[in-house]
């Protein structure tokens, strides 16, 4: 397997053409996925809506918007993300985020934020609810039986019956099970406070160098996919290591980190996707370090296992007449 590549998109443009251009560049270059930044109070379009807008106009790249669990009902999150998976034909993901900002809470007129530990616990419950709702329809629940006039087999819809400290949800979902079964769940993790608390498939980490990346990889369970964040020059500095240099030098860095640390891939925070696709991607391909995946779903592209429906009867559980 070669290194996996993603880009983080962050902007406030309400011009659909801007987002279409950026994601198409990533799509044509064979990148594994793009993430769409978002938070309450940010001037800019809703990330899930942007992903849904570009989904029918792209073919391969995964689409992973940020959606905040704080002040957002998990039922609404599950239906929006399941819909995104349908319109993208199995390329949807979700980057989970919490909100600690009282000003963001004031925008919605809801409670003041809880302590971070409680917000993460709430986010963990939200992920559990969303995952259960995605499974609440079995894959063959829609039968379209003209003879009996039945569209859905009600025996293949399931109540999730979740009751937790922050919310209770009965279900089932109002959207059929997504094409992936379980769209990919991701989270930015600066430490065990996050990766031990959240049931994510992918963690974005922010190591300072290759050795730091290796230490982080060693602390996260092997089943998780780990992407190292790198801020590529010209973009707004933040919590991730910043790179300034030529595409060849960036390829050197990626090759070094990937070889030493054991990360699965890199999420590059860029101002323009062309900064990556025009120089870096061809160089990585020339070195044999990056090969676009032929898989059609995001789960497959990332090498995640098939999502088994927790509510579907296993063959050994089906009664014999």
Distance CA 114, CA 225 (A): 29
Mean predicted lDDT score pLDDT of the chain: 93
Q: What is the pLDDT of residue 61?
A: 98
Three-class DSSP labels, 214-270: HHHHHHCCCCCEEEEEEEECCCCCCCCEEECCCHHHHHHHHHHHHHHHCCCEEEEEC
Measuring CA to CA, how many Å separate 31 from each of 74, 206, 241, 272, 295?
29, 20, 21, 14, 12
Q: What is the pLDDT of residue 314?
A: 56
Give the residue, 312 or 277, on which the prediction is more confident.
Answer: 277
Asked if the model's pLDDT at residue 301 lies above 60, the reply is: yes
Q: Which residues contact 281 (CB under 8 A, 6 or more apart)?
A: 5, 29, 30, 31, 290
Across 33-54, b (16+ Cβ under 10 Å) vs e yields bbbbbbebeeeebbbbebbbbb
Helix (H, G, I), strand (E, B) or coil at 169: strand
Q: Which residues contact 147 (CB under 8 A, 6 or more apart)?
A: none
Share of the chain above pLDDT 90, in %: 84
Phi-psi domain of 180 (left: phi exceeds 0; alpha: psi -120 through 50; beta: other): alpha
* Element of type H or E holding 7: strand 4-9
* Element of type H or E holding 17: helix 16-29
Residues paired with 15 in a beta bridge:
none
Our count of domains for the chain comes to 1
**CA dihedral of residues 205, 56, 175, 201 (deg, nearest 10):** -20
Chain segment 113-144, per-residue pLDDT in tens = 789 999 999 999 999 999 999 999 999 898 88
Chain segment 226-240, per-residue pLDDT in tens = 999 999 986 566 899
* Element of type H or E holding 131: helix 116-135
Domain of 20: which CATH number? 3.20.20.30
Asked if the model's pLDDT at residue 318 lies above 80, the reply is: no
**Which of these, 39, 45, 58, lies nearest to 15 by C-alpha position?**
45
Give the residue, 320 or 288, on which the prediction is more confident.
Answer: 288
Chain segment 200-231, per-residue pLDDT in tens = 999 999 999 999 999 999 999 999 999 999 99
Asked if the model's pLDDT at residue 317 lies above 70, the reply is: no
Distance CA 203, CA 218 (A): 13
Distance CA 317, CA 172 (A): 22
Instruction: Assign 316 a pLDDT band (cuts: 50, 70, 90).
Output: very low
User: β-strands 168-169, 162-163: how paired?
Assistant: antiparallel
User: β-strands 62-68, 93-97: how paired?
Assistant: parallel
Asked if the model's pLDDT at residue 198 lies above 90, the reply is: yes
Q: Are 198 and 124 in contact (CB under 8 A)?
A: yes
Q: What is the pLDDT of residue 315?
A: 45
**Lowest-pLDDT range, 1-5, 31-35, 51-55?**
1-5
Q: How many CB atoms lie under 10 A from the CB of residue 85?
A: 27
Reading the block at residue 257, the tokens are 């980190």
Q: How many CB atoms lie under 10 A from the CB of residue 100?
A: 12
Asked if the model's pLDDT at residue 30 lies above 90, the reply is: yes
Residue 176 domain boundaries: 4-317
């Amino acid at each position: 397997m070669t290194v996996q590549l993603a880009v983080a998109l962050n902007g406030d443009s309400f011009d659909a053409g801007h987002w279409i251009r950026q994601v198409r560049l990533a799509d044509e270059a064979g990148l594994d996925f793009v993430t769409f930044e978002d938070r309450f109070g940010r001037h800019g379009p809703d990330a899930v809506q942007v992903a849904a807008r570009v989904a029918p106009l792209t073919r391969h790249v995964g689409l992973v918007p940020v959606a905040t669990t704080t002040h957002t009902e998990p039922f609404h999150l599950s239906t929006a993300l399941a819909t995104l998976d349908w319109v993208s034909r199995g390329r949807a993901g979700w980057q989970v985020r919490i909100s600690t900002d009282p000003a963001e809470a004031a925008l919605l007129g809801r409670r003041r934020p809880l302590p971070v530990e409680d917000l993460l616990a709430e986010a963990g419950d939200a992920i559990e609810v969303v995952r259960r709702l995605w499974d609440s329809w079995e894959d063959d629940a829609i039968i379209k039986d003209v003879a009996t006039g039945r569209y859905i087999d009600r025996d293949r819809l399931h109540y999730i019956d979740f009751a937790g400290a922050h919310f209770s949800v009965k279900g089932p979902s109002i959207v059929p099970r997504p094409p992936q079964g379980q769209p990919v769940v991701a989270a930015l993790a600066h430490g065990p406070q996050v990766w031990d608390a959240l049931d994510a498939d992918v963690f974005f980490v922010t190591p300072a160098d290759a050795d730091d990346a290796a230490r982080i990889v060693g602390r996260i369970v092997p089943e998780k996919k780990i992407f190292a964040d790198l801020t590529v020059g010209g973009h707004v500095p933040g919590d991730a290591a910043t790179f300034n240099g030529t595409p060849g030098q960036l390829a050197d860095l990626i090759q070094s980190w990937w070889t030493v640390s054991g990360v699965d891939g890199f999420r590059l925070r860029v101002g323009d996707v062309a900064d990556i696709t025009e120089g870096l991607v061809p160089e990585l391909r020339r070195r044999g370090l990056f090969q676009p995946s032929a898989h059609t779903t995001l789960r497959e592209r990332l090498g995640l296992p098939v999502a088994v429906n927790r509510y579907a009867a296993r063959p050994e559980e089906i009664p014999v007449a």
